[in-house]
Structure 1
Amino acid sequence: MRKSELRKNYLEMRKALSIDEVALLSENIFKNFVDYFKPFPSQKVHIFIPIEKFKEIDTHIFIDYFLSRDIRIFVPKIVDTKLISVEIFADSKFELNNWGISEPVSNENSEVLDFDFVITPLLYCDRHGNRVGYGKGFYDGFFETLYGKTKKIGVNYFNPDENIDDVWENDIPVDYLVTPTEVLSFFNNGLE
């Protein structure tokens, strides 16, 4: 199936979720992430702030967990059409940008490229790690800059069942997908 069809279908499926379903599914995704990856103090995690109107996974659960365990947290911010990483702390200030997305007030790019985990928003991910996002390409550009050991992890409410037919040369897949029911690895065609 083409990205445009998948984007439309999965936006509709996400839109149909209730607030309670979003909370429960997000909690299950969080538990699967922690059980599988077992993050520990001093690791560096890049994670997105959810766009609530799009019913994105509630990553505040992750952020609270990381803060309580001295795991360093970085969040994306778009500055001059480029995605930068801003380190955040318990007392960091946030504001809504022009699109209604919560971002840190700070524009200070951490310049960190050796994250342990980059937890990535997406609308759909197939069984090869290919992603469908909102179509802006910010994460492909960001992924190109990361050190090789960084684990790129997609999080999604839905398990993959369709292949993406129009994967482009510059598309960079994720290494893992965490859903409410499983963690998929895409190394060696899904066999780690």
Structure 2
Amino acid sequence: MNKEVLRSLFLEKRQTLTNQEFKRRNDLLLVNNLNFLESHQRAVHCHIFLPILKFKEPNTWPLFEHLQKSSNHEAYVSKTLFKQKQLEHFHVTKNTELKESKYGIPEPLNGEAIHPEKLDIVFVPLICCDKQGNRVGYGAGLYDRFLQEVRQDCLKIGLGITSKLDNIDYTTELDIPLDYYISHLGIDDFR
């Protein structure tokens, strides 16, 4: 199946999850993320996306709060610049104010802007991915452009609450594959 079909199918599938199942999957996702961070202690600078919960995106708020409280990690969040088709990245501290954009995306209002080369980990939003680490995002290419700017050793980790597909058709050279996929089912290493 091509990306547009998969995007539509999986977005609809996510919406059919009961609140109880959505919570269960997110609880397991958090446990798997914390286990991953524990086993990758050299990864200090962690970029995370904040969810639009009405679309039943993976609930990254508990992971974000963990990163903020951790003495071993620093948290970073982006602001979406839709006209420029890019993301601007900010170091998030206890003094950083967050506000939902007109699209419902929680974004920083203030904070220190950083260059993506500083990051050790990028937690990547996705709708689904395949067993090779190819992902289907929301179609704007924002994260593909962002991931071209990180260091080569920066870990690209997809977060999801769906199982992997066998393969995604119609990937291009602009698509940047994931290094890992963390879901409620476990941690998949694509390296």
Tell me the TM-score normalized by structure 1. Answer: 0.90
| Aligned mates of 2:122, 2:134 — CA distance in 1 | 15
Aligned to 2:15: 15
Alignment of 1:171-182 (within 5 A): 171-182=175-186
Aligned to 2:6: 6
**Count, aligned residues:** 187
Contact 1:114–1:149 under 8 Å retained in 2? no
- What residue identity is the alignment partner of 1:162? D
SS at structure 1 position matched to 2:151: coil
Q: 2:162 aligns with which of 134, 158, 172?
A: 158
- 1:100 deviation in Å? 1.9
| Aligned mates of 1:112, 1:140 — CA distance in 2 | 13
- 1:52 deviation in Å? 1.1
- What residue identity is the alignment partner of 1:66? L
Aligned to 1:190: none
- 1:135 deviation in Å? 0.2
| Aligned mates of 2:90, 2:19 — CA distance in 1 | 28
- What residue identity is the alignment partner of 2:110? S
Aligned to 1:65: 66
| Aligned mates of 1:157, 1:54 — CA distance in 2 | 12
Gaps of 5+ in 2: none
Contact 2:43–2:121 under 8 Å retained in 1? no
Gaps of 5+ in 1: 188-192
Identity between Structure 1 and Structure 2 (%): 31
* Runs of 4+ residues over 6 Å off in structure 1: none
| Aligned mates of 2:101, 2:34 — CA distance in 1 | 30
- 1:90 deviation in Å? 2.1
- 1:132 deviation in Å? 0.2
Aligned to 1:92: 96
| Aligned mates of 1:140, 1:14 — CA distance in 2 | 23
| Aligned mates of 2:129, 2:60 — CA distance in 1 | 18
| Aligned mates of 1:186, 1:172 — CA distance in 2 | 12
- 1:101 deviation in Å? 1.4
Aligned to 1:168: 172
Aligned to 2:120: 116
SS at structure 1 position matched to 2:148: helix
Tell me the TM-score normalized by structure 2. Answer: 0.91
